[in-house]
Structure 1
Amino acid sequence: MRVDQYLTSLAATLAAVPREPLRAVEEALWQTYLRDGTIIICGNGGSAANASHFACDLAKWTLTDGRRRVRAIALTDNVPVMTAWSNDSAYERVFVEQVISLYRPGDTLVAISGSGNSPNVLRAVEWMAAQGATTIGLTGFAGGKLAGLAQIVVVVPSHCMPEVEDAHSAICHSLAVALGERISAEPV
């Protein structure tokens, strides 16, 4: 059955995701929280859905009574701004124009791109890096250009876009859970 083949392949892909970069991402998100920075997330298509979902999980799953909340925003969630920049400038500027407006020192960008070659994602990473911000890339395939631009990169070892996007979803869930657990473990 094809469903069984897909799920077996996905399980193998998840098992092969390198853990050291994941630990580095977890630590970068923790440090962003400690300095009261914002975790800014972007992506296209399925990666846009993962960006929105990740921002939601960071805002909700990390809640602990008596603790400061996590600042997280998905640049994919303001459709009017995205269409305005696409129409008036260029689609490759939809994320960078938003980060230019939103960025504060201490913020971190999580850029999600299955191929690692989305020009709008790359422009945001370039701009944030030029500000000295922490940049994180979640990608697949061979990593694309994103692997050479982001400071911390997790490359899902698959050339199947649905598997890459599923793995990114699982990675984002694991990071939100881990951040919530670290916040809960901190003394008040």
Structure 2
Amino acid sequence: MKLHLVKPDLAYYEQYNEMMTEWCESKTQIAPWFLDAPFASLEEYAQLVRMLDNCEHGIVDPRFAATTSYFVVDESGRLIGAVSLRHYLTVEGFRTWGHIGYGIRPEERGKGYGIQALRLALEQAREKKIDKVLIGVHEGNIPSRKTVEHCGGILENTVRVDTDEEPIRRYWINLSDHSKLNL
């Protein structure tokens, strides 16, 4: 099934809550950064949508990068996951997670959707003239590591961060070298 990216908006309120309930009940890591938990009201969800729009337009704390966030949806419009794309790296972003974060809801994993979602995010990075993309993956998240490697990720190193118990593997994907990409 083919996936595509859409900007978060109010139309996805119920699906967002359904997806986040599933994710929270699975007790698996939630990613990317803007996903958290179901919202108690449409008004709270609307605040998230406004905040994501502000982030995309650079209305952020100077410690953070402008970031475009997307929902990943299937052909029927069902929410499958999410991706975020930092437009540039800050000191913290360069040290750990990098440009792209992505996640697929638990019941949809193992279907190749992570590869599709990452490819779509890489296309957005290319459109933003980002030539080299950094992606961080928890060392124990083998499916995500394989996804990044499948899409051309070259391991640079593994780092530890005080705020995270698990080491983070840092991969670079060179978008200007099309011959090495599996997109």
Question: Structure 2 length normalisation: TM-score?
Answer: 0.30
Flag the structure with higher helix content. Answer: 1
| Higher strand fraction (1 or 2) | 2
**TM-score scaled by length of structure 1:** 0.29
